[in-house]
Amino acid sequence: MSVTPSAPASRAAAKQADKPAKVRDASVTKSRILDCAIQEFADHGYDGARIERIVKQANVNVSLAYQYFGSKENLFITVMEQAYDLMRANHRDFDIRGLEPLQAMESLVRWTFRIFVKHPQLIGLLNSENLHRGKHIAKSTYIRNLYNPLLDTIAMVLKRGAEDKVFRDDVKAEDLFISMNGMGYFYLSNRYTLSVILGRDLMKPAAIQHHEEHIVQVLLGYLRP
Partner DNA sequence: GATGAATGAGGTTTCATTCAT
Partner DNA sequence: TATGAATGAAACCTCATTCAT
- Find, among 168, 167, 128, 105, the residue nearest to 42 by Cα: 128
**In the range 57-86, which residues lie near DNA by CB under 7 A?**
59-64, 66-67, 70-73
Q: What is the distance, to the nearest Å, from the Cα of residue 204 to the centroid of all Cα atoms in its chain?
A: 20
Residue 166 in the binding site for DNA (CB under 7 A):
no
Q: Which is nearer to a copy of itself, 31 or 181 (CB)?
A: 181
Angle formed by the axes of helices 121-131 and 26-48, to 10°? Answer: 50
Which positions from 27 to 66 touch a copy of itself by CB under 8 A, shown as an x/- string? -----------------xxxxx------------------
Q: How far apart are the first and last CA of the chain?
A: 78
Answer whether 63's CB lies under 8 Å from 29's CB. Answer: no
Using CA atoms of 108, 112, 113, 115 in order, give the dihedral in degrees to the nearest 10: 130
Question: Binding of a copy of itself at residue 79 (CB under 8 A)?
Answer: no
Q: Within 133-162, which residues bind DNA (CB under 7 A)?
A: none
Closest separation between CB of residue 36 and a copy of itself, Å?
Answer: 18
Q: Rule CB under 8 A: is residue 82 a binding residue for a copy of itself? A: no
168 and 225 Cβ atoms separated by less than 8 Å: yes
CB 91 within 8 A of CB 84: no
Contact flag: residue 70 with a copy of itself (CB under 8 A): no
Residue of 57, 74, 107, 190 interacting with a copy of itself (CB under 8 A): 190
Q: Which is nearer to a copy of itself, 27 or 193 (CB)?
A: 193
Q: Which one, of 168, 136, 142, lies nearest residue 72 by Cα?
A: 136
* Nearest 10 degrees: Cα torsion 116, 117, 121, 124: 70
**CA atoms of 93 and 127, how far apart (whole Å):** 24
Q: Restricting to residues 130-169, which ones interact with a copy of itself according to CB under 8 A?
A: 130-134, 137-138, 143-144, 146, 148, 151
Q: Among a copy of itself, DNA, none, what does residue 31 contact (CB within 5–8 Å per kind)?
A: none
The residues binding DNA (CB under 7 A) are: 22-26, 29, 49-52, 59-64, 66-67, 70-73
The residues binding a copy of itself (CB under 8 A) are: 44-48, 124, 126-134, 137-138, 143-144, 146, 148, 151, 174-175, 177-179, 181-183, 185-187, 189-198, 210-211, 214-215, 217-219, 221-224
